[in-house]
Amino acid sequence: MTDLPMSIAELQAFSETKMHKVQRKFVARGVAANWTRDRNRQKLDEIGVVPRALIDVSVRDLATTVLGDEINFPIMCAPAGGQTGSHPDGEIAVAHAAGAVGTLMALPVGSAYTIEEVGAAATGPIWFQHIHYSDELTEDFLPRLKPAGFTALILTVDAVGPFPMTDDLGETMSPGLRSFGSFLHRPDLLDEHGVTPWVGPNLTWDRLDWLRELAGGLPLVLKGIRNGEDATRARDHKVEGIVVSNHGGRQFDGGISSIELMPRIVEAVGSDVEIYFDSGIRSGLDVYRAMALGAKAVFVGRPVHWGLAYGGAEGVRRMLNILGSEFDKVMAYTGCTSVDQIVRTNVILPGN
C-alpha cells in the first residue's frame, strides 16, 4: 500500500492508522454480534456481473438525477454521524468535497456544524437526515431547512431508542467530536453531554404530513425501510424516496443485508418511488451491483469517515473519485454508456 490510496480498502487501512482508537472503533462497529454488518458485505460479494463484448463504450455518461437534483455520478455521501471525530472540519469538509465532484451530501441530524453553516458551504445539492428525538426538536429543526438551501428531507426510520451499545468503546467519545451544533442556541433541548434525549411519542405513519408541513413541503425520503409492506405504505403515503438501508448494521442485529432487500422493495413499489441503496458499499463494483437491482443511486457512510481521516475535504474527494472511477470501468466492461442501461440481467445472483 502506498500513501496515495488506490482503493477504498487501501484508504481504510491508511486512515485507520491516523484515527484515534475510540473513533476507529466507533466507525467500524456494528451492534451485538455484527451479524448484519458482516452480512452486508458477504451478500454484495456474492453478486457477479456479466461482461459484454464488441459494444462501443468509448463515450460514457455517469450522470443521473435524484428527486430532480443533478449529480455527476450515482454515488452520494451518507449522513454518517460523528464526522468531527475523524477530522475537525467534519461536515463542512464533506460539503466541499461533494460539491467539488458534483454529487450530493446528506447532512446528519447531529452535525457539529449548523444547518446554516453547511448550507452556506455547499456547492452541490444537500439533503437533511432527521431522527425524531422529540416533537420540540423537530419543530425547531425542519422549518430551517428550505431557507438554508436543502432540497429534500430524509427521515431515518430504523433508529428506535435509545439503546446502549453492547460493545464497550472504552471512552465516551473521540477527542474533537462535537455534535448537535444546530442546537447550541437551545441548550434546553440537550442533556449534560450536549446530546438530545429521546422524548415520546415516536413518529407514526399518520404524522408524516406534519413533517412535510414543518419542512415547507420538501420531498420526503424514508431511510431504513426493510420490507415490502412498509415500502408499499410509504408509496401510499406519497413518499418520494426510499433508502434501502439497515444503518450499516449499527442499530439492529439480525436483519438481512440491504442488498438482499432490494428486489423486494423494488417489486413492492416499482417506479412509483425513487429507491436508493445504503449499507456496505466499498467499491464501484458494489455501486453497479446495487443499481442493477434497482437503485437510482447509492449512499456511502463509513468511507466518508475514512476520507475525512485521510485528508479532510481532499480525502473525501479522493474517496468519491475512487468509487466513481471504478464504477465507470464496470459500466464500460458491461457494455453500458449511461446509467439507465444498468439492468437486472447485467448481474448474476447466487444460485443462478
Pairing of strands 347-348, 241-244: unpaired
The catalytic residue among 87, 96, 130, 247 is 247
- CB atoms under 10 Å from CB of 123, counted, come to 11
Q: Please indicate whether residue 247 is annotated as part of the active site.
A: yes
Q: Which three cell numbers stand for residue 34?
A: 455484527
What is the Cα 289 distance to its own chain's centre? Answer: 16
- Name the residue type at position 323: L
Question: Known catalytic residues?
Answer: 247
